[in-house]
């Protein structure tokens, strides 16, 4: 059985990114692990380039173990989401910490796929991740875009606040109801796409 590793960049426990990733990983039919980045002890890259010859980071935290797991994995799934129109900070911090695998093309031709979440900007997230995969010379299978929920749905001012993402999405007179929340499991077409992506990863693995 091949090994697939997923990295969820969501800071929300059991949020939509995590649920979609589990669906994709499950559908691969392979042995898999989902790492929730917010649970890691992970400092930010200090740009020392001490990793150039060792393929490992000088910082003492959880990342070197993760680098080993990535090397061992046959395919990787990244889950990112939009914040302020771009890929969220936690996912970016993680990508920068993969720098030790950059210099010597350790990820070259490694299979990779992404799950991109957001209210409006999923496609930007998918594109940002894709450009990172290209920089690392990885082989991208596909990206899955999913919907998202704004914090403004539940802060109590979502229907009236001038900065409300809820109003930006549904209009100024809209009311917050259960239906306005994005529930991944109820988005049947996207669930099907997630299963399809898992199978595509598995097919790509069998061609390797």
Q: Does 105 bind ligand FMN (CB under 6 A)?
A: no
- What's the CA gap between 17 and 81, in Å, rounded? 7
Q: Which is nearer to ligand FMN, 117 or 198 (CB)?
A: 117
Q: Does 12 bind ligand FMN (CB under 6 A)?
A: yes
Q: Does 120 bind ligand FMN (CB under 6 A)?
A: yes
Can you tell me which of 6, 80, 100, 118 binds ligand FMN, judged by CB under 6 A? 118
Biggest CA-to-CA distance, the chain: 58
Cα three-residue angle 90-91-96, rounded to 5 degrees: 100
Q: Which is nearer to ligand FMN, 74 or 121 (CB)?
A: 121
Distances (CA, A) of 205 to 27, 148, 194, 199: 13, 30, 17, 10
Q: How many CB atoms lie within 10 A of CB 54?
A: 12
Query: What residue is closest to ligand FMN based on CB?
Result: 148
How many residues at the interface with ligand FMN, by CB under 6 A?
20
Contact letters for ligand FMN, residues 51-90 (x by CB under 6 A) = ------------------------------xxxxx-----
198 neighbors 24 (Cβ within 8 angstroms): yes
Q: Does 10 bind ligand FMN (CB under 6 A)?
A: yes
Q: Which residues pair with 115 in a beta bridge?
A: 79, 144
175 neighbors 203 (Cβ within 8 angstroms): no
Q: Does 158 bind ligand FMN (CB under 6 A)?
A: no
Q: How many CB atoms lie within 10 A of CB 75?
A: 25
70 neighbors 98 (Cβ within 8 angstroms): yes
Q: Does 150 bind ligand FMN (CB under 6 A)?
A: yes
Can you tell me which of 6, 80, 148, 158 binds ligand FMN, judged by CB under 6 A? 148
Q: Does 117 bind ligand FMN (CB under 6 A)?
A: yes
Q: Which is nearer to ligand FMN, 26 or 139 (CB)?
A: 26
State the residues that interact with ligand FMN by CB under 6 A.
Answer: 10, 12, 15-18, 81-85, 117-121, 148-151
């Amino acid at each position: 059985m091949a090994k697939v590793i997923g990295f969820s960049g969501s800071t929300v426990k059991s949020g939509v990114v995590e649920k979609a990733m589990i669906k994709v990983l499950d559908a691969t039919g392979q042995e898999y692990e989902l790492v929730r980045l917010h649970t890691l002890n992970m400092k930010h890259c200090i740009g020392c380039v001490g990793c150039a010859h060792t393929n490992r980071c000088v910082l003492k935290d959880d990342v070197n173990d993760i680098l080993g797991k990535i090397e061992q994995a046959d395919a990787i799934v990244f889950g990112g989401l939009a914040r302020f129109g771009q890929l969220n900070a936690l996912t970016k911090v993680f990508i920068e910490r993969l720098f030790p695998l950059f210099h010597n093309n350790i990820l070259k031709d490694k299979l990779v796929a992404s799950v991109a979440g957001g209210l409006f900007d999923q496609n930007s997230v998918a594109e940002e991740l894709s450009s990172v995969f290209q920089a690392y010379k990885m082989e991208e299978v596909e990206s899955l875009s999913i919907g998202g929920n704004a914090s403004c749905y539940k802060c109590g001012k979502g229907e009236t606040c001038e900065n409300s993402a809820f109003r930006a999405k549904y209009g100024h007179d809209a009311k917050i109801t259960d239906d306005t929340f994005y529930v991944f499991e109820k988005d049947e077409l996207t669930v099907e796409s997630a299963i399809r992506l898992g199978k595509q990863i598995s097919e790509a693995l069998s061609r390797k």
